[in-house]
């Protein structure tokens, strides 16, 4: 796919997303917010997984730190921007601290450490009733207005809030695109491919891993902090390890080697579940089968498979087609 076609496709996609509240139902808009939140989380996660080669099972913890911090801020000071920025910053700080302890290890040890830290945050959310509301969570979080440069934008409807999430998601994706294609992204891939070689050329492997971990945590926190204004509630299950599996699944489905993979995976995962639960209460079984089929059938991810199709197609040149026709 050449750049011009890619730009047209992206422009079309953005146009669809911008027009969605006009052409789609309220539920489709709501569902798309969830796709964007998972997509944002998964894009951040893939900096760690696809680019740096570290599989974290604790992203839900940072998502929850962002969500709870944002909720507490909004309950005390109903203004969206401080809530979202505060939630993102808190998640980044948590990721920096826990990352410092985690990136000393790699592979299964790293995965287990992140799982343990994630579940520690889940336990805190469950037990620290004075701050988190315990198992009932924090209820009645306002969808506070967006106050920026003296401008106050009220967000009473999901449709209006959708645009806030869309802008945050687009900014997040653009920034991540720059990061992945920057010297930092190259260095992370060098660490992923051979940490010994990376160290020998002078890269600080542990610091680079910590940067990736912190950025991924910040992205999870940003996605998490955009949740309470949507749902008006934050509850502990968002911090559970099963929630950590969602960005992992989305990334695997879409493809870890493709920048768009986590976004496509998030879309497929959310829509597939939403459609399946309408037809059966045994949705988890059906969704599991669908995921297994997709992962086995599209090794390397859906985006890689689609790109493979696109690459095969140009081999049929007009002249060749004429020869075949003859």
Partner 1 sequence: MRWVWVPLVVVALLAGASWSAAGPATCALGVPTIKLGVQGAASGPHADYGRQIEMGAQLAIEEINAAGGILGCRLEMRFMDEELRPATAVRNARFLVTEWGAHFLYGVDSSGSAMALGPVLRELDRIQFFTHAATHRLTEELVAQQKIKQIVRVSAPVYQDAVAAWLFRDRRDVRRWATIGADYEYGYATWAIFREQMRRLRPDVEFVGAAWAPFLTTDFSPHIAAVMATNPDGIIATPWAGEAVTLLRQALLQGVFDRIKVWFQAMGGSVDVLEGISQEVKEGRFQGKLYATARYIHNWPNTETNRSFVSRFAKRWNRMPNYSAETTYSAIYITKAAVERARSLQTDRVIAALQGMRIETPAGVRVFRSEDHQFVYAVPAGKVVWDPRYPIAVLGELKVFDPKDYWRWPPFRPLELSK
Report the alpha-carbon distance of residue 196 to residue 201 in Å, rounded: 9
Segment interacting with partner 1, rule: CB under 8 A, options 81-89, 191-199, 227-235, 291-299? 227-235
Q: Which residues contact 153 (CB under 8 A, 6 or more apart)?
A: 145, 146, 147, 160
CB of 229 within 8 A of CB of 88? no
Helical H segments across the chain, by residue range: 3-23, 26-46, 59-76, 80-102, 107-127, 129-132, 158-180, 183-193, 195-200, 205-225, 228-231, 241-254, 261-276, 283-297, 302-312, 318-325
**Residue 131 touching partner 1 (CB under 8 A):** no
**Residue 163 touching partner 1 (CB under 8 A):** no
| Closest distance to partner 1 from the beta carbon of 42 (Å) | 17
| Closest distance to partner 1 from the beta carbon of 162 (Å) | 13
Binding flags for partner 1, 178-217, as an x/- string (CB under 8 A): ----------------------------------------
Q: Toward partner 1, which CB reaches closer, 27 or 109? A: 27
| Closest distance to partner 1 from the beta carbon of 139 (Å) | 5
List 78, 82, 237, 300, residue binding partner 1 (CB under 8 A): 237
Residue 139: DSSP 8-state: E
**Residue 275 touching partner 1 (CB under 8 A):** yes
**Residue 232 touching partner 1 (CB under 8 A):** yes
List 282, 292, 320, 321, residue binding partner 1 (CB under 8 A): 282
- 243 — phi, psi (to 5°)? -75, -30
Segment interacting with partner 1, rule: CB under 8 A, options 80-88, 182-190, 206-214, 282-290? 282-290
Segment interacting with partner 1, rule: CB under 8 A, options 14-22, 180-188, 195-203, 248-256? 14-22
Question: Which tokens hold the place of 281?
Answer: 């209460």
Binding flags for partner 1, 81-120, as an x/- string (CB under 8 A): ----------------------------------------
**Residue 13 touching partner 1 (CB under 8 A):** yes
List 97, 139, 148, 153, residue binding partner 1 (CB under 8 A): 139
CB of 131 within 8 A of CB of 73? no
CB of 78 within 8 A of CB of 155? no
**Residue 308 touching partner 1 (CB under 8 A):** no
List 182, 194, 207, 284, residue binding partner 1 (CB under 8 A): 284
Provide DSSP, 11-73: HHHHHHHHHHHHHS-HHHHHHHHHHHHHHHHHHHHHIIIIIT----S-HHHHHHHHHHHHHHH
**Residue 313 touching partner 1 (CB under 8 A):** yes
């Amino acid at each position: 796919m050449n750049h011009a076609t890619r730009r047209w496709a992206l422009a079309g996609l953005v146009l669809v997303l911008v027009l969605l509240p006009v052409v789609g139902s309220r539920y489709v808009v709501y569902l798309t917010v969830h796709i964007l939140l998972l997509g944002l989380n998964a894009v951040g996660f893939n900096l760690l997984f696809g680019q740096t080669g570290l599989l974290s099972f604790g992203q839900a913890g940072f998502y929850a730190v962002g969500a709870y911090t944002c909720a507490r801020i909004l309950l005390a000071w109903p203004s969206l921007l401080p809530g979202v920025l505060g939630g993102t910053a808190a998640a980044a700080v948590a990721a920096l601290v826990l990352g410092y302890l985690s990136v000393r290890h790699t592979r299964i040890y790293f995965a287990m450490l992140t799982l343990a830290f994630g579940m520690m945050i889940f336990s805190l959310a469950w037990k620290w009733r004075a701050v988190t509301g315990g198992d009932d969570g924090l209820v009645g979080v306002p969808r506070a207005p967006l106050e920026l440069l003296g401008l106050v934008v009220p967000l009473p409807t999901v449709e209006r809030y959708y645009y806030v999430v869309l802008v945050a998601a687009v900014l997040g994706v653009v920034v991540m695109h720059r990061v992945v294609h920057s010297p930092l992204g190259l260095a992370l891939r060098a660490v992923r491919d051979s940490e010994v070689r990376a160290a020998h050329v002078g890269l600080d492997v542990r610091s680079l891993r910590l940067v990736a971990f912190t950025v991924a945590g910040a992205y999870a926190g940003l996605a998490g902090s955009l949740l309470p204004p949507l749902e008006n509630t934050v509850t502990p299950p968002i911090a559970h390890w099963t929630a950590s599996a969602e960005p992992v699944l989305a990334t695997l489905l879409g493809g870890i080697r493709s920048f768009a993979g986590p976004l496509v995976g998030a879309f497929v995962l959310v829509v597939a579940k939403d459609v399946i639960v309408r037809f059966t209460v045994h949705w988890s079984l059906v969704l599991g089968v669908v995921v297994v089929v997709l992962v086995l059938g599209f090794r390397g991810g859906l985006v890689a498979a689609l790109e493979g199709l696109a690459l095969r197609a140009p081999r049929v040149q007009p002249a060749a087609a004429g020869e075949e026709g003859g």
